[in-house]
């Protein structure tokens, strides 16, 4: 049992004693010297709902040299995440179709060896097939097109079996859907929550069909709102200086404008992924004012970096959409501040060191983000004065959970009130109703640390944030009221300051 004294509730500021009854013996891990039991001073900590990421690539199956479900899940837990949404650009692509017996390339053999008949089946039954327990909850997304080729829409008759009949929609009133509960059924534990061709925009040819299926199934469409046939980095002074073909900002706006019109025409919910340009934010802002079913996310790297940083970081700062201009970066922060952006997602995209060490033009797009996202976002947004600590939790925990059809843990509700109490109270997670649904992150907003990618739990090391000095870090992750990850020290990094805003 772990008792944390004088911890602050993230949104009310009330100071409580928190009792975590046990460590999850099947899925927990810790960093060296971390505390997992006993009594500790939590005066430097806040307790918040678990972080959630609606946009991760775990490369499993098909590219296990880059990441696996095991290493990706460990990275998530170490970053304070209790739930992630896995993108379908796996090998084979997660479109719901069964693989052929002869299909032994591009991950097909890998699936056959463990007894899975397609990628969605493999991912839903991953823990059973590999006899492991993963330290993060995860949901799945399905390809918008067959094979992610953009030619034909994926077919609901192929993927409906992977949707829990009571939990397949974010509009479900089922209590377990709202709380993120688990069961012995892999479908209800890891259901489909979205449709996307992430990595590519949905093509004009199939867009209307995909949106029609989205409305019929209740699955939102997650759109990679960017398309280009040439170019490697943002079109601008940096691309011209390096002599590299550029990608104009208009490539993002073109998809955003097209899809806003489609949402207006069909009423389908479209969620724009990793928005990065001022023009796109303006379009989203106007669409929301019109009341259209549009939501959007951005990523830590678009908040913290611009295309000028490519001169320093090279391929470690190459992604798609590319890092944009400094003006676009400022517009991204402004879109967070005014509420245009609904949530922050990492777009965690691991690659091998050899791939990223190559030529900038030929290096693959993407960076990892799960293990430093909170600190990077807090540095730019909270320390930069754009938003509060509370708003950051809303962006990184509450909104992503709701997009995935879950209700985040409400700490104040567990205490049976949203108001402060004159006498310090104790929240014993073993005594709450349905402790199996309680997911929490313990964060030290004053913890000063330096990003060291060599110590990451992810297989990936491809981050431009290596060596960055940050303040604020998730210190423990709790899933189902059990401790799954800890880096809690024997003593806090800072004592409670009564003037501190929590």
Q: Residue 71 has which token pair?
A: 């290493």
**Which pLDDT belongs to residue 419?**
62
Question: How far is the C-alpha of 482 from the C-alpha of 133, rounded, in Å?
Answer: 13
**Which pLDDT belongs to residue 501?**
31
**Which pLDDT belongs to residue 188?**
85
Other beta carbons within 10 angstroms of residue 267's beta carbon come to 12
User: Does 419 reside within a domain?
Assistant: no
Instruction: Calculate the average pLDDT of the chain.
Output: 92
Q: Residue 220 has which token pair?
A: 């939102």
For the stretch 123-177, pLDDT in tens is: 999 999 999 999 999 999 999 999 999 999 999 999 999 997 654 433 333 333 3
The DSSP element (H or E) to which 109 belongs, if any, is: helix 108-114
Other beta carbons within 10 angstroms of residue 97's beta carbon come to 20
Question: How far is the C-alpha of 260 from the C-alpha of 139, rounded, in Å?
Answer: 26
Query: In sequence order, what are the residues at sequence separation of 6 or more whose Cβ sits closer than 8 angstroms to the Cβ of residue 347?
Result: 55, 56, 57, 273, 274, 299, 319, 366, 367, 369
The DSSP element (H or E) to which 443 belongs, if any, is: strand 440-450
pTM over 0.75: yes
CB-based contact 162:120 (threshold 8 Å): yes
Domain housing 344? 49-409
Residue where the block lists tokens 């970066």 = 329
User: Does 393 reside within a domain?
Assistant: yes
CB-based contact 141:195 (threshold 8 Å): yes
Question: How far is the C-alpha of 442 from the C-alpha of 42, rounded, in Å?
Answer: 9
Where the chain has pLDDT below 50, the residues are 102, 167-182, 494-502
Angle at Cα 47 formed by Cα 45 and Cα 52, nearest 5°? Answer: 120
Q: Give me the active site residues, please.
A: 347
Other beta carbons within 10 angstroms of residue 24's beta carbon come to 17
CB-based contact 306:326 (threshold 8 Å): yes
Question: How far is the C-alpha of 408 from the C-alpha of 90, rounded, in Å?
Answer: 28
Question: How far is the C-alpha of 312 from the C-alpha of 314, rounded, in Å?
Answer: 6
Question: How far is the C-alpha of 400 from the C-alpha of 394, rounded, in Å?
Answer: 9
User: Does 153 reside within a domain?
Assistant: yes
For the stretch 478-500, pLDDT in tens is: 999 999 999 999 865 544 443 33
**Which pLDDT belongs to residue 106?**
66
**Which pLDDT belongs to residue 164?**
79
Question: How far is the C-alpha of 453 from the C-alpha of 376, rounded, in Å?
Answer: 14
CB-based contact 207:221 (threshold 8 Å): no
**Which pLDDT belongs to residue 490?**
81
Question: How far is the C-alpha of 16 from the C-alpha of 38, rounded, in Å?
Answer: 16
User: Does 156 reside within a domain?
Assistant: yes
User: Does 63 reside within a domain?
Assistant: yes
CB-based contact 153:210 (threshold 8 Å): yes
Q: Is the dihedral of CA 150, 151, 155, 161 positive or negative?
A: negative
**Which pLDDT belongs to residue 8?**
98
User: Does 448 reside within a domain?
Assistant: no
**C-alpha separations of 178 from 81, 181, 242, 297 in Å:** 17, 8, 50, 21
**b or e along 306-330 (b: 16 or more beta carbons within 10 Å of the residue's beta carbon)?**
bbbbbeebbbbbbbbbbbbbeebbe
User: Does 206 reside within a domain?
Assistant: yes
Question: How far is the C-alpha of 206 from the C-alpha of 226, rounded, in Å?
Answer: 16
Question: How far is the C-alpha of 130 from the C-alpha of 132, rounded, in Å?
Answer: 6
Question: How far is the C-alpha of 270 from the C-alpha of 338, rounded, in Å?
Answer: 20
User: Does 180 reside within a domain?
Assistant: yes
Question: How far is the C-alpha of 472 from the C-alpha of 466, rounded, in Å?
Answer: 16
**C-alpha separations of 40 from 374, 382, 490, 492 in Å:** 23, 27, 7, 8
The one-character DSSP state at 365 is P
Residue where the block lists tokens 């409305």 = 215
Number of domains forming the structure of the chain: 1
**b or e along 56-78 (b: 16 or more beta carbons within 10 Å of the residue's beta carbon)?**
bbbbbbbbbebbbbbbbbbbbbb
**Which pLDDT belongs to residue 242?**
98
CATH at residue 305: 3.20.20.140
Calculated CA dihedral for residues 153, 154, 155, 156, nearest 10 degrees: -120
Determine whether 362 is exposed, middle or buried from the number of CB atoms within 10 Å of its CB (0-12, 13-18, 19+): exposed
Q: Residue 296 has which token pair?
A: 């959007």
């Amino acid at each position: 049992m772990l008792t944390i004294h004088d911890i602050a509730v993230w949104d009310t500021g009330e100071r409580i004693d928190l009792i975590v009854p046990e460590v999850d013996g099947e899925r927990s891990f810790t960093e060296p010297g971390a505390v997992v039991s006993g009594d500790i001073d939590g005066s430097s900590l806040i307790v918040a709902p678990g972080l959630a990421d609606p946009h991760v690539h775990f490369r499993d199956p098909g590219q296990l040299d880059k990441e696996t479900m095991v290493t990706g899940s460990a990275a998530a837990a170490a970053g304070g995440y209790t739930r992630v949404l896995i993108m379908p650009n796996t090998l084979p692509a997660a479109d719901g179709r069964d693989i052929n017996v002869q299909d032994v390339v591009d991950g097909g053999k890998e699936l056959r060896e463990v007894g899975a008949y397609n990628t969605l089946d493999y991912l839903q039954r991953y823990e059973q097939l590999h006899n492991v327990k993963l330290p993060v909850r995860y949901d799945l997304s399905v390809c918008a097109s067959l094979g992610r080729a953009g030619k034909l829409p994926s077919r609901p008759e192929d993927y409906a079996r992977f949707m829990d009949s009571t939990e397949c929609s974010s509009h479900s009133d089922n209590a377990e859907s709202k709380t993120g509960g688990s069961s012995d059924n892999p479908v209800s534990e890891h259901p489909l929550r979205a449709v996307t061709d992430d990595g590519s925009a949905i093509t004009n040819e199939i867009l209307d069909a995909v949106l029609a299926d989205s409305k019929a199934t209740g699955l939102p469409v997650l759109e990679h709102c960017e398309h280009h046939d040439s170019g490697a980095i943002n079109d601008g002074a940096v691309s011209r200086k390096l002599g590299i073909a550029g990608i104009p900002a208009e490539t993002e706006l073109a998809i955003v404008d097209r899809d806003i019109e489609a949402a207006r025409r069909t009423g389908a919910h479209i969620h724009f992924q990793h928005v990065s340009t001022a023009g796109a934010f303006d379009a989203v802002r106007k669409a929301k004012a019109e009341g259209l079913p549009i939501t959007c996310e951005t990523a830590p790297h678009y908040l913290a970096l611009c295309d000028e940083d490519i001169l320093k970081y090279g391929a470690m700062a190459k992604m798609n959409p590319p890092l944009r201009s400094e003006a676009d970066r400022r517009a991204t922060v402004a879109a967070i501040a005014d509420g245009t952006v609904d949530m922050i997602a990492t777009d965690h995209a691991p690659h091998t060191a050899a791939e990223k060490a190559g030529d900038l033009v030929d290096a693959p797009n993407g960076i990892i983000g799960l293990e430093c996202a909170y600190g990077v976002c807090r540095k730019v947004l909270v320390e930069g004065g754009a938003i509060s600590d509370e708003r950051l939790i809303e962006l990184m925990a509450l909104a992503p959970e709701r997009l995935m059809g879950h209700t985040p843990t409400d700490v104040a509700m567990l205490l049976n009130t949203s108001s402060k109490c004159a006498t310090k109270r104790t929240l014993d997670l073993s005594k709450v109703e349905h402790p199996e649904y309680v997911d929490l992150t313990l964060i030290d907003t004053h913890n000063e640390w330096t990003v060291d990618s060599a110590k990451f739990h992810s297989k990936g090391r491809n981050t431009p944030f290596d060596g960055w000095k940050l303040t604020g870090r998730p210190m423990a992750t709790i899933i189902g009221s059990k401790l799954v990850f800890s880096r809690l020290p024997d003593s806090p990094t800072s004592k409670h300051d009564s003037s501190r805003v929590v």
